[in-house]
Structure 1
Amino acid sequence: MDVRFLQAAASFDGHVAVRPISVSLTERRIGIIGLNGSGKTTFARMINGLVQPSQGSVSINGLNTAQDGESVRSQVGFIFQNPQNQIILPILREDIELGLRAKKLMRAEVKAKVDGVLSRFGIKHLADRRVHELSGGELQLAALASVLVTEPALVILDEPTNQLDLRNRLLVQKTIDRLEEDVLVISHDLELVETFDRVLLFHEGQILMDGLPANAIRRYREIAGA
């Protein structure tokens, strides 16, 4: 994926969430870290058009997020911090099928794609379970399945290990490590991103450091007083 910000900024009701940024992202594994309110989630949401720039532009493989929103969203999947906000239907299989309805596929093809993505994440046995019965780790895998069944090239995960116990955290981390798609992860879980290709440290709406994970994490600890 080729993600480009050209002096792109985002403001809400007079509050500047992201200051003008020009950056190109092409690595397969990118982490975004920073204090709460530093602009990292807004920045990530600008990538798939959930947030439109108040100035400048954002493009994905040459597609402008403001002008080519539907095409951009077909290439970039977004998994929210709370997967329960993303999973709409009560039965897991039905929710995953929902993402395929716009494609007007034959019933057999839909079933094959859903079975395939469930098997891929080792949750085929949960297909007919009610979503509220799933554990935190299972919910994250369910959210991944519901997004990746549509075959995006890039998947963005917002705090994927938030409030998970150690077992589920390790399950989610291993799953992310094995993803074939390009991945961008927003996280306070520094261990999750320490092996990534690149880490962006956000502070007060701008990129304070951009480079190797160890360097960005060290600077973040200094800012946080850790």
Structure 2
Amino acid sequence: MHSINFSKVSVRVPVDGTDTHKTLLRDVSLDLRERRIGVIGANGSGKSTLLRLVNGLVEPSEGSVNVYGDDTVAAVRKVRANVGFVFTDPLSQLVMPTGREDVELSLRRSIRNTRERSARAEQVLLRFGILHLADQSIYELSGGERQLLALAAVLAVEPRVLVLDEPSTLLDLRNRELLRRTVAGLDQQVIMSTHDLDLAQDMDRVLVVEAGRIVFDGGASEAVSRYRALCAAGVDGKR
């Protein structure tokens, strides 16, 4: 099964200090087969929850999620081996002092030999055009360089699916375009949430999320138009 399948998925979380629950996603059913899939929606709409379900960072309260035939709860380790996840802020996932060490850490399970692991890390860094930054402190790098490094560390283990949660939020225009070109050239199936509607236009299929529901699922241009209309309606409703 070469798809990501959501079957009647709902996610609820307890509200602190009460016996009530808040619903983050409600009754979502999807079959995601396209190479590039975008997810757009307002803050708090459920975008990040939807993405985190794909690699088991969030478990369904109801329903199930399967990634290429593996259930994200019952087979979470196998799912996470197949799904790479890149967070909005790369500093939240870069854990080593330098890029070289971070990529080597990603490779530690798959390549036991130290010399082979080091050589492979260099190849990965070279592929992303950041080998010259390999031994700099991650705190000396720009936002775009950190984001590329986070991508390199995740992709070093060659997952089948790459999930990106608003990856351009902290980037300037030049680094956003660099990210855009890099993502376009990847072999992996990509699922990306974004507030950048230009990035969303690059996608083969775009989901619009509103109040925990998928309110549109289709082509990029129509999805962006639908989202703009939702935003305009929301602004008008507050006047």
TM bucket normalised to smaller: over 0.9
> 1:84 aligns to what?
91
Once residues 140 and 163 of structure 1 are traced to their aligned partners in structure 2, the CA distance between those partners, rounded to angstroms, is 9
Once residues 150 and 73 of structure 1 are traced to their aligned partners in structure 2, the CA distance between those partners, rounded to angstroms, is 11
Kindly tell me the number of residue pairs found equivalent between the two proteins.
226
Structure 1 position 33, deviation (Å): 0.2
* Match for residue 192 of structure 1 among 199, 217, 227: 199
Once residues 182 and 124 of structure 1 are traced to their aligned partners in structure 2, the CA distance between those partners, rounded to angstroms, is 25
Once residues 137 and 104 of structure 1 are traced to their aligned partners in structure 2, the CA distance between those partners, rounded to angstroms, is 28
Superposed, 1:57-206 pairs within 5 Å as 57-206=64-213
Over alpha carbons, which structure has the higher Rg? 2
Once residues 104 and 123 of structure 1 are traced to their aligned partners in structure 2, the CA distance between those partners, rounded to angstroms, is 21
* Match for residue 37 of structure 2 among 30, 52, 60: 30
Contact 2:110 2:157 in 1 (8 A): no
Structure 1 position 193, deviation (Å): 1.7
Once residues 119 and 31 of structure 2 are traced to their aligned partners in structure 1, the CA distance between those partners, rounded to angstroms, is 36
Tell me, which stretches of 5 or more residues in structure 1 are unaligned? none
Contact 2:89 2:170 in 1 (8 A): no
Structure 1 position 163, deviation (Å): 2.6
Contact 2:84 2:155 in 1 (8 A): yes
Paired residue type of 1:182: Q
RMSD across aligned positions (CA): 1.1
* Match for residue 15 of structure 1 among 16, 22, 33: 22
Structure 1 position 112, deviation (Å): 2.2
Once residues 189 and 104 of structure 1 are traced to their aligned partners in structure 2, the CA distance between those partners, rounded to angstroms, is 37
Once residues 102 and 163 of structure 1 are traced to their aligned partners in structure 2, the CA distance between those partners, rounded to angstroms, is 30
Once residues 201 and 112 of structure 1 are traced to their aligned partners in structure 2, the CA distance between those partners, rounded to angstroms, is 42
- Normalised by the length of structure 1, the TM-score is 0.97
Once residues 63 and 91 of structure 1 are traced to their aligned partners in structure 2, the CA distance between those partners, rounded to angstroms, is 34
Structure 1 position 132, deviation (Å): 0.2
Once residues 92 and 156 of structure 1 are traced to their aligned partners in structure 2, the CA distance between those partners, rounded to angstroms, is 20
- Normalised by the length of structure 2, the TM-score is 0.92
Structure 1 position 81, deviation (Å): 0.6
Percentage identity across paired residues of the two chains: 45
Contact 2:200 2:224 in 1 (8 A): no
